[in-house]
């Protein structure tokens, strides 16, 4: 049993962790402990600091209890908790504040789902629902706790139910409020920009709130809805680390601060900025889910638990564990300048070297030959495609390749049939000129008729030909938010309703076409989050395809997201983004630790290059299961050039008998010191060979001493080391 209830003590146990709460004498649900697994005992003493100075912290009358000192599972703004809080509401009479107290609880078999929102799933899991009720009004808070013990995964979501006879307004409805008695933590987060996603940054959590957030209507390139809160000295394989991942793709906030008593509070959920939600009588509001993993053995263990949970219990559909095709995408090959003959010639050359699928990217619809037109007009440009789509797909299929296609369902161009017919379908504030971004606008996905219109068009295209893959792109963020279909007093619901609309459309499209592999994209990795992965099992990691820049991008991404979800392609040199020239082997090796594909004009490659790519495809397929389903270890960080000129990482089979390590030397120096690479995850007492070497190594030697790396005298060399049992 993962969930134990003893009187009013609630304990959630995973394989290696324990999370405990209790209801105190005032009926308040308090957090007691989250961390390494413990035998059952009442840990409630840990939730309050003894002997504090309570001045300037209001207390509940006749008691010494102050909200400001307590570790409340649902922390509320307005009644004396002056820290970060997770809930703020206004009652029908204009009063604020709320005092949620214990009402009831139940345990459910299986992991809960959330209406209209993505969430981890699993019949093998368990759910605890603790219902709290405001003391003064009939407002209920169903606190959902999901436990997937195998991955040390604990999830939380709150369902707010308005049983009063009037509307209430939610000003802030976060998913998580988590307290730690210690004030000694770091926060690791992943910031970035278009072409520079998920750069690792580690900062102390101090008395200044540390916040990562988005108000872009998408999780965005700039911050990722995932952080790690960890001991100051935690490393890849040492120390306590708490992962906090939002299963949401819209505006978010994750914030942490140390309070006046040196305790740390972390809150996470929908960003309250731009959010105000009117909850009708008898209606519910579901917060997105937050997925927590605790590791007492540093970040490596934490990442592997997220990887397994995402692979097995978040991604869905037939491709979640199936082999995915090696694809070639024509974007960097042709941009908008292609026709059917060009694509077929690419398919012919690609088939000859083992590629399995050709993706026709942006530019096949309406009259789109650049980024000024036609979004919203999802009908085939038969002139450009020299005939019907089904004819083109057949020609590509005849070359031996499957066919994939690009859509940007959420956006609209002013120069489009759709805009002419329905100018009000886009977001635009009345009396203001809406701001284009990449010359395009965002469709009002809060409206069912807009979603229906896009669904119908997509369905027609997808049914018209033998399509095996869809890339779902989103190339701008939300601004000029106003919906013609939402009353003025409810405009604060748009950002969230937009996401609910997008999720609904995604659910409809992916359910209607279960045999199609979907890849999420948002100008590369602008919406790489657990929300999107529920619908689409892979994400184009970045528009930056330079192998050296990708080291940091993929390294940062790997903290939460498995290799299997990271779209990674080999492209040409000089790289289109930064003009860097790197060896083709290095580009291949880096793309192996993703989905591996090509983003180049294969017809322009030399025979030698084609042979190298053919070799890579064969090699990638040889190691496919090891790479895609093994445990992943970051060995040397690309963010610490002062420590090593290499970036290195490794995958290990679940039984520890086989591993594949990769190194890329990204710094060139005239005098280089030989370096040893320490491996991880092997069986300490077994003997191994490296790339079939004569020499054998004890697993513990490889992990504690390492092995000498080969030296290559050229720029940006990369090596693969295959470690097998001797
Ligand atoms: C942005 C994507 O990240 C690219 O791969 C490509 O699909 C373009 N959009 C097309 O407009």
In sequence order, which residues have a C-beta less than 8 Å from that of residue 4 and are 6 or more positions away? 10, 11, 13, 40
Same domain for 693 and 572: no
Task: Please state, in angstroms and rounded to a whole number, the distance separating the CA atoms of residues 87 and 78.
Answer: 9
How far is the centre of ligand 1, averaged over its atoms, from the C-alpha of 407 (Å)?
10
DSSP code string of 34-69: EEE---S---GGGGS-TT---TTS---TTS---GGG
How far is the centre of ligand 1, averaged over its atoms, from the C-alpha of 523 (Å)?
6
Q: Sorting pLDDT into bands at 50, 70 and 90, what band is 56?
A: confident
pLDDT tens column, 448-493: 999 999 999 999 999 999 999 999 999 999 999 999 999 999 999 9
The percent of residues above 70 in pLDDT, for the chain, comes to 99
Peptide linkage before 574 cis (omega within 30 of 0): yes
How far is the centre of ligand 1, averaged over its atoms, from the C-alpha of 387 (Å)?
24
Pocket test for ligand 1, best of 473, 525, 538, 576 (most atoms within 8 A of CB): 473
- List the CATH number of the domain containing 673: 2.60.40.1180
Same domain for 516 and 505: yes
pLDDT tens column, 605-632: 999 999 999 999 999 999 999 999 999 9
Closest of 168, 293, 304, 309 to residue 236, by C-alpha: 304
Any ligand 1 atom below 6 A from CB of 549: no
Any ligand 1 atom below 6 A from CB of 364: no
Would you put residue 431 in left (φ > 0), alpha (ψ -120 to 50) or beta?
Answer: left
Q: What is the mean pLDDT of the chain?
A: 97
Is residue 431 a part of any domain in this protein?
A: yes
Last residue of a domain, one of 597, 629, 661: 629
Backbone angles phi, psi at 462, to 5 degrees: -70, -30
Last residue of a domain, one of 629, 656, 688: 629
- Per the CB < 8 A criterion, the answer to whether 358 and 327 are in contact is yes
How far is the centre of ligand 1, averaged over its atoms, from the C-alpha of 67 (Å)?
49
pLDDT tens column, 576-606: 999 999 999 999 999 999 999 999 999 999 9
Same domain for 698 and 645: yes
Same domain for 286 and 351: no
The pLDDT of residue 52 is above 70: no
- List the CATH number of the domain containing 621: 3.20.20.70
The pLDDT of residue 263 is above 90: yes
* pTM score over 0.85: yes
Same domain for 117 and 35: yes
Same domain for 472 and 432: yes
The percent of residues above 90 in pLDDT, for the chain, comes to 96
Any ligand 1 atom below 6 A from CB of 601: no
Any ligand 1 atom below 6 A from CB of 99: no
Is residue 715 a part of any domain in this protein?
A: yes
How far is the centre of ligand 1, averaged over its atoms, from the C-alpha of 580 (Å)?
20
Question: What pLDDT does residue 53 have?
Answer: 61
Is residue 353 a part of any domain in this protein?
A: yes
pLDDT tens column, 677-703: 999 999 999 999 999 999 999 999 999
Q: How many domains does the chain have?
A: 3
Question: What pLDDT does residue 626 have?
Answer: 98
Any ligand 1 atom below 6 A from CB of 332: no
Pocket test for ligand 1, best of 362, 476, 567 (most atoms within 8 A of CB): 362
Same domain for 241 and 116: yes
Q: Which residues pair with 284 in a beta bridge?
A: 161
Closest of 717, 554, 586, 529 to residue 651, by C-alpha: 554
Q: Sorting pLDDT into bands at 50, 70 and 90, what band is 262?
A: very high
What three-state secondary structure class fits 199?
strand
Question: What pLDDT does residue 51 have?
Answer: 58
Q: What is the mean pLDDT of residues 514-521?
A: 98
Nearest CA to ligand 1 atom 10: 362
Same domain for 688 and 578: no
In sequence order, which residues have a C-beta less than 8 Å from that of residue 39 and are 6 or more positions away? none
What three-state secondary structure class fits 10?
strand
Catalytic residue positions?
529, 609
Q: Sorting pLDDT into bands at 50, 70 and 90, what band is 50?
A: low
Same domain for 646 and 596: no
Question: What pLDDT does residue 670 have?
Answer: 80
Is residue 319 a part of any domain in this protein?
A: no
Any ligand 1 atom below 6 A from CB of 475: yes
Any ligand 1 atom below 6 A from CB of 523: yes
Which atom of ligand 1 is nearest to 521's Cα? 3
Q: Which two tokens stand for residue 711?
A: 């030296």
488: containing domain? 327-629
Same domain for 486 and 370: yes
């Amino acid at each position: 049993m993962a969930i134990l209830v003893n009187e009013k003590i609630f304990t959630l146990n995973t394989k290696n962790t324990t999370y405990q709460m209790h209801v105190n004498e005032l009926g308040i649900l308090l957090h007691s402990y989250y961390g390494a697994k413990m035998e059952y005992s009442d840990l409630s003493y840990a939730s309050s600091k003894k002997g504090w100075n309570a001045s300037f912290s209001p207390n509940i009358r006749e008691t010494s209890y102050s909200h400001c000192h307590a570790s409340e599972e649902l922390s509320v703004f307005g009644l004396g908790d002056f820290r970060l809080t997770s809930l703020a509401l206004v009652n029908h009479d204009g009063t604020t504040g709320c005092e949620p107290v214990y009402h009831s609880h139940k345990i459910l078999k299986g992991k809960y789902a959330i209406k209209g929102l993505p969430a981890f799933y699993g019949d093998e899991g368990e759910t605890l629902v603790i219902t709290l009720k405001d003391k003064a009004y009939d407002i209920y808070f169903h606190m959902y706790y999901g436990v997937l013990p195998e991955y040390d995964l604990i999830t939380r979501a709150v369902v707010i139910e308005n049983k009063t006879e009037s509307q209430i307004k939610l000003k802030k409805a976060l998913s998580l409020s988590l307290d730690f008695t210690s004030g000694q933590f770091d926060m690791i987060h992943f910031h970035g920009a278009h072409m520079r996603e998920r750069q690792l940054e580690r900062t102390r959590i101090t008395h200044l709130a540390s916040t990562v957030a988005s108000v872009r209507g998408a999780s965005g390139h700039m911050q990722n809805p995932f952080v790690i809160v960890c001991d100051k000295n935690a490393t890849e394989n040492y120390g306590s680390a708490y992962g906090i991942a939002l299963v949401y793709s819209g505006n978010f906030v994750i914030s942490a601060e140390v309070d006046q008593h040196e305790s740390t509070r972390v809150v996470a959920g929908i960003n309250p900025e731009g959010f105000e939600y009117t909850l009708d009588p008898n209606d519910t509001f579901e917060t997105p889910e937050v997925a927590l993993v605790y590791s007492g053995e540093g970040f490596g263990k934490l990442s592997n638990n997220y990887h397994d949970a995402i692979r097995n219990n978040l991604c869905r559909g037939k491709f979640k564990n199936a082999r995915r095709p090696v694809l070639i995408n024509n974007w960097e090959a042709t941009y908008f300048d292609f026709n059917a003959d060009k694509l077929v010639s690419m398919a012919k050359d690609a088939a000859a070297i083992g590629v399995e699928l050709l993706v026709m990217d942006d530019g096949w619809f309406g009259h789109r030959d650049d980024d000024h037109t036609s979004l919203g007009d999802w009908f085939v440009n038969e002139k450009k495609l020299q005939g019907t789509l089904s004819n083109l797909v057949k020609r590509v299929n005849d070359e031996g390749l499957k066919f994939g296609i690009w859509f940007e369902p959420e956006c609209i161009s002013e120069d489009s049939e759709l805009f002419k017919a329905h100018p009000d379908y886009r977001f635009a504030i009345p009396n203001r000129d809406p701001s284009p971004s990449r010359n395009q606008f965002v469709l009002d996905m809060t409206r069912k008729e807009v979603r229906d219109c896009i669904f119908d068009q997509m369905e027609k295209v997808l049914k018209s030909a033998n399509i095996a893959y869809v890339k779902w792109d989103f190339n701008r963020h939300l601004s000029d938010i106003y919906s013609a279909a939402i009353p003025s007093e409810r405009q604060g619901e748009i950002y969230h309703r937009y996401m609910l609309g997008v999720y609904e459309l995604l659910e409809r499209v992916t359910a209607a076409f279960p045999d199609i592999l979907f890849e999420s994209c948002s100008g590369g990795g602008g919406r790489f989050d657990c929300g999107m992965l529920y619908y689409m099992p892979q994400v184009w990691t970045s528009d930056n395809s330079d192998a050296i820049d990708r080291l940091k991008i993929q390294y940062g991404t790997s903290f939460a997201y498995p290799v299997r979800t990271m779209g990674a392609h080999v492209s040409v040199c000089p790289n289109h983004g930064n003009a860097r020239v790197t060896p083709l082997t290095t580009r291949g090796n880096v793309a192996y630790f993703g989905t591996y594909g090509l983003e180049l004009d294969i017809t322009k490659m030399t025979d030698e290059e084609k042979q190298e790519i053919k070799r890579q495809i064969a090699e990638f397929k040889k190691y496919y299961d090891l790479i895609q389903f093994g445990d992943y270890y970051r060995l040397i960080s690309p963010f610490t050039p002062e420590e090593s000129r290499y970036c290195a990482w490794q995958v290990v089979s679940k039984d520890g008998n086989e591993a594949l390590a990769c190194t890329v030397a990204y710094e060139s120096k005239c005098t280089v010191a030989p370096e040893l690479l320490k491996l991880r995850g092997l069986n300490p007492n077994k003997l191994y060979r490296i790339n079939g070497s004569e020499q054998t190594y004890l697993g513990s030697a490889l992990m504690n001493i390492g092995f000498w790396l080969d030296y290559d005298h050229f720029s940006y060399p990369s090596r693969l080391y295959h470690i097998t049992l001797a």
